[in-house]
Each structure stands twice: as structure tokens, then as C-alpha cells.
């Protein structure tokens, strides 16, 4: 047998997947609680024992891993104008699989300095100004960041005319600095790949060790990557296909977690109608957003604040007292699994997580008036033509009614000008293998695509 093993070391669970290259099948899956507080190998070995109980004690031809343990890859991004370079900085960080703690724009103040200190990021992505444009903000922010008494790395991806001076300021403070190409070298033109690669390199070089993953890394055949990056690459592969096989076309994917909800869209996003004009920059074909305040366990308080407890109560069909009891239970012990009527509340929570995150991710239109009369201006991506929506994450895949949850990603009359998918088909990542397929896709893309198309089941 030729078998690959993938490992996704999450904040709560470590998930292993064994893939047989000859039969082209997933032959075993297992999970165990992640033991990041003690030795991450304890949880890994526990899951590995379960895998071997299913398939025997075989040698794996390749072992590949991703991780979001210990809070994932924690980043701050900073730019100049909120909807231009600051947005470009955030998109670059998100596409690299980071958990973006906050994005700043314009000149940093002392209060923001203190905020960054308290966030304790692992990487700060500093951008601002197109090449040849504003230099002052980048240099000012470099000085402010240099004065933060925290040990984090800084990636400079702003105006190339100020990048070297900004680097010198930061190096004098003792911080590790990487200078790469501007995330927006010319107005409204994105260039996020150099920053994305720089983030990944720093994760491999420094952060794996900081999270106690050294021993796992020594077992692997490739560098450990952030789990959201593995999912990002899997979604892109599922959409675009390979040289041998076509993908599914335009898709969206939702990973509803305990702390965050990650949203992926693989679509051009250009205006679909003749009287609609794009406002601002064209967002990338492959886009990820992370809603750090929208999760069904660790972030349940902010999710309820955003959705409204009355709405969740109505959707769940339970009493408000029951909903409040479930919220209190999750706050005390986020690892609690729902039973009985609690499952209905959990489904309502996941539904709201998707509804809110879809609203934030998808583009929208607004009416404007010009010399030619009334026109519609589009901000963000038009995702009305998306063909498939894929659901992942425990609350979705373990729900008795996952379609009810995923339907919240689609357009409703109440959405008014939101550019959400109109009539997609819904697929379920029932075995929770999205990250595993991203890892497999880095070495066997045709097999990874084949398995996703086989395993991601359509919900009737």
C-alpha cells in the first residue's frame, strides 16, 4: 500500500486522515483532543493509534501537516486608506491563512500602540502608499511600531520609496524585518503574493517552534502550514481544477468554528449586469475573510450580540431561557457537545454565523446618480453566480439539518442589495477533510480534486 497521512492540529482537535494512493480512497480518519498546553505529540499519537487500529501499523509514504493550534497565526495588518491599502494588507494576511486580530489605517496613535501591545501578534504586516506616493504614514507607523515593547516580526509591503527607511527604523528596535513588494504598487492594483509568501516563510521559520510543533515538524515531509491556508488552497483547487480535470467553477466555502467563521470565495466577482459599475478595487478571484468575532463557542457572546438573542431563539424553536442556558454552558466549557434540544440551538447559532459572515464577505450595490441617470455602484465581489456552497466545521457537518444552515449563505429578499449566491447547490464536507485535501493537493492535486468531488456530498 502507498498511504499518505495528513494531520490538522487545531486549537481543540487534532485530526488525521489516511489516503491510499493506489485505491484512491480515504481509508481512515481519526481525531483526538489537541494537547498544546503539555506536549502536542500526546494528542497526535492518540489520533495515530486510532488510525492504526483501523488500517494496521503501516509505514506512511508521506506525512503532511497544518496547524491552527494556540490561536493560529495571529497577525495585525496596517495600511493607509481603509478601503485601499489597508484592505489590500488585510487580504494579503487572510490569503496566507492568518487570524487577523485587527486592521489599522492612517497614522497609528498611542492608543493603537497600546492595543497592538495587548493583542500580542506574531506578525505585523505594514503597508501604505502606492509606489512613489505617500511616504509619511509608512515611516510614522514604522516609528510607532518600533516603540512597541513586544517581540514580533514585521513585514513591510508598502511604498517602495519608503520601505528601506522604514526597515532601518524597525531593525534598530531589535525586531525581525522582512521587506517585500508593495501589496498595492499602483492605485487599485493588488499584488498580494509576495506578502503572502513572506508570511508563510516566517510561519515556517519562527512560529512553528514557538507553538511547540518542532517534533511534529521533524516527522513531516513538508513544512507545516496554517490550517486556513490549506483550506484556501483546497478551495482554489476545487474551483479551478488541474491540468487533467476541470473544477467546479465558482464556489464559496464556510468553515464555522468555535472562535471564528472563515469564508472563502473562488469567483471573478465582476459586475454581472450592464448598468452596474465597480467602485473601488477589484478583489482577487481567490478571497478569504475571517470573522474573528463570529464563532459558536469561544466567540458565542459576540455572535449573539451581533445576531440578537431574539432571532436565535426564534430560529432554534426553543425558549429564551434554554438559549441563555446553552450560551452559559459554552462560555464555561467551549468543548461541550450539544445534546437533545441543544442541537437546535447550535444549528441556529451556526446559521447566524453563516448569515452574518456572508453579509460581510459578499459585495453589495448602492444607487448613485450621474450624467447618464441612475446607476448602480458595486463594492466588493458579485457572487450571485456562485454554483456551489460548501459547508465545513463541526456545527455544520454534525447538524441534523445542514441545508438549513447553508441556505443562510444565499440571497434572501431581506438582503436587498447584497450580492450573495442566488441559487447554489449545497455540498457538505462530512468527513471534515478540507484542510487534508489542501495538504494532499500540494503533492497530488489530481487525487485531491477527485476525492473532494467524491466526498463532498450534495444536500438534498
Looking at residue 410, its pLDDT comes to 95
CATH superfamily of 3-70+211-223: ATPase, nucleotide binding domain (3.30.420.40)
Q: What is the mean pLDDT of residues 220-240?
A: 94
Query: Residue 372 above 80 pLDDT?
Result: no
The dihedral over CA atoms of 49, 51, 52, 53, expressed in degrees to the nearest 10, equals 80
Residue of higher predicted confidence among 357 and 82: 357
Residue 303 pLDDT > 90, yes or no?
yes
Q: What is the pLDDT of residue 375?
A: 87
Measured CA to CA, the distance from residue 208 to residue 202 in angstroms comes to 9
Domain ranges of the chain: 3-70+211-223, 73-206, 246-434
Supply the pLDDT for residue 293.
Answer: 86
**pLDDT above 90: residue 205:** no
Q: Tell me, what's the pLDDT at 104?
A: 95
User: 34 falls in which pLDDT band (50, 70, 90)?
Assistant: confident
What local confidence, expressed as pLDDT, does residue 35 receive? 83
What pLDDT was estimated at residue 258? 85
CATH no. for 73-206: 3.40.50.2300
Give the per-residue pLDDT at 107.
Answer: 95
Max Cα distance, the chain (Å): 73
Q: In the β-sheet with 98-104, what is the strand arrangement from edge to edge?
A: 98-104, 73-78, 123-126, 153-156, 177-179
More confident residue, 70 or 404: 404
Choice among 71-75, 433-437, 440-444 with the minimum mean pLDDT: 71-75
Considering only 67-71, 77-81, 192-196, which range has the smallest mean pLDDT? 67-71
Across 285-303, average pLDDT: 90
In this structure, of 9-18, 230-239, 302-311, the range with the lowest mean pLDDT score is 9-18
Q: Confirm if 456 and 428 have CB atoms less than 8 A apart.
A: yes
Q: How far apart are CA 177 and CA 155, in angstroms?
A: 6
pLDDT class for 416, splitting at 50, 70, 90? confident
Label residue 390 by pLDDT band (50, 70, 90): very high
- Indicate whether 36 pLDDT > 90: no
**Highest mean pLDDT, choosing among 98-102, 174-178, 282-286, 330-334:** 174-178
- Residue 82 banded pLDDT, cuts 50, 70, 90: confident
Q: Residue 24 has what pLDDT?
A: 96
Closest CA to 330 of 339, 340, 338: 338
What mean pLDDT do residues 69-82 have?
88
Q: What average pLDDT does the segment 313-340 reach?
A: 92
At residue 251, the pLDDT reads 97
What is the pLDDT, as a whole number, of residue 373? Answer: 79
Who wins on pLDDT, 55 or 36?
Answer: 55
pLDDT at 126: 97
**Percent of the chain having pLDDT more than 90?**
77
Write down the pLDDT at residue 139.
97
By residue count, the chain amounts to 460
Residue 264 has what pLDDT? 96
Amino acid at each position: 500500500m502507498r498511504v499518505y497521512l495528513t494531520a490538522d492540529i487545531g486549537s481543540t482537535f487534532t485530526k488525521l486522515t489516511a489516503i491510499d494512493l493506489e485505491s484512491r480512497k480515504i481509508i481512515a480518519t481519526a481525531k483526538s483532543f489537541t494537547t498544546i498546553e503539555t506536549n502536542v505529540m500526546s494528542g497526535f499519537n492518540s489520533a495515530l493509534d486510532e488510525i492504526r487500529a483501523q488500517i494496521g501499523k503501516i509505514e506512511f509514504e508521506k506525512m503532511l501537516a497544518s496547524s491552527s493550534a494556540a490561536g493560529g497565526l495571529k497577525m495585525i495588518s496596517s495600511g493607509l486608506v481603509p478601503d485601499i491599502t489597508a484592505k489590500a494588507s488585510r487580504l494579503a494576511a487572510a490569503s496566507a491563512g492568518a487570524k487577523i486580530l485587527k486592521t489599522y489605517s492612517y497614522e497609528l496613535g498611542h492608543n493603537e500602540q497600546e492595543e497592538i501591545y495587548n493583542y500580542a501578534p506574531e506578525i505585523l504586516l505594514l503597508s501604505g502608499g502606492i509606489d512613489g506616493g505617500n511616504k509619511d504614514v509608512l515611516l510614522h507607523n514604522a516609528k510607532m511600531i518600533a516603540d512597541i515593547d513586544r517581540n514580533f516580526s514585521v513585514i513591510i509591503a508598502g511604498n517602495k520609496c519608503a520601505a528601506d527607511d522604514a526597515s532601518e527604523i524597525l531593525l534598530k528596535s531589535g525586531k525581525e524585518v522582512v521587506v517585500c513588494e508593495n501589496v498595492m504598487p499602483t492605485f487599485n492594483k493588488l499584488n498580494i503574493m509576495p506578502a503572502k509568501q513572506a508570511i508563510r516563510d516566517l510561519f515556517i521559520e519562527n512560529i512553528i517552534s514557538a507553538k511547540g510543533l518542532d517534533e511534529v515538524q521533524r516527522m513531516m515531509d513538508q513544512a507545516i502550514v496554517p490550517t486556513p491556508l490549506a483550506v484556501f488552497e483546497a478551495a482554489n483547487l476545487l474551483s479551478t481544477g488541474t491540468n487533467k480535470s476541470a473544477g467546479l467553477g465558482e464556489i464559496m466555502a464556510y468553515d464555522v468554528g468555535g472562535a471564528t467563521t472563515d469564508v472563502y470565495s473562488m469567483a471573478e466577482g465582476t459586475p454581472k449586469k450592464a448598468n452596474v459599475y465597480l467602485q473601488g478595487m477589484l478583489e482577487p478571484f481567490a478571497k478569504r475573510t475571517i470573522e474573528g468575532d463570529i464563532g459558536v463557542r469561544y466567540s458565542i457572546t459576540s455572535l449573539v450580540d451581533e445576531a440578537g438573542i431574539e432571532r436565535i431563539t426564534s430560529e432554534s424553536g426553543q425558549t429564551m431561557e434554554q438559549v441563555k442556558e446553552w450560551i452559559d454552558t459554552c462560555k464555561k466549557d467551549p468543548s461541550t457537545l450539544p445534546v437533545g434540544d441543544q442541537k437546535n440551538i447550535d444549528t441556529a447559532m451556526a446559521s447566524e454565523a453563516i448569515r452574518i459572515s456572508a453579509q460581510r464577505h459578499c459585495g453589495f450595490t448602492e444607487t448613485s446618480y450621474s450624467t447618464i441617470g441612475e446607476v448602480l455602484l458595486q463594492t466588493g465581489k458579485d457572487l450571485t453566480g456562485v454554483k456551489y456552497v460548501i459547508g465545513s466545521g463541526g456545527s455544520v457537518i454534525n447538524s441534523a439539518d445542514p441545508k438549513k444552515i447553508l441556505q443562510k449563505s444565499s440571497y434572501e429578499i431581506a438582503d436587498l442589495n447584497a450580492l450573495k449566491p442566488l441559487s447554489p447547490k449545497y455540498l457538505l464536507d462530512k468527513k471534515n477533510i478540507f484542510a487534508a485535501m489542501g495538504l494532499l493537493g500540494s503533492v497530488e492535486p489530481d487525487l485531491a480534486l477527485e476525492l473532494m468531488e467524491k466526498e463532498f456530498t450534495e444536500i438534498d
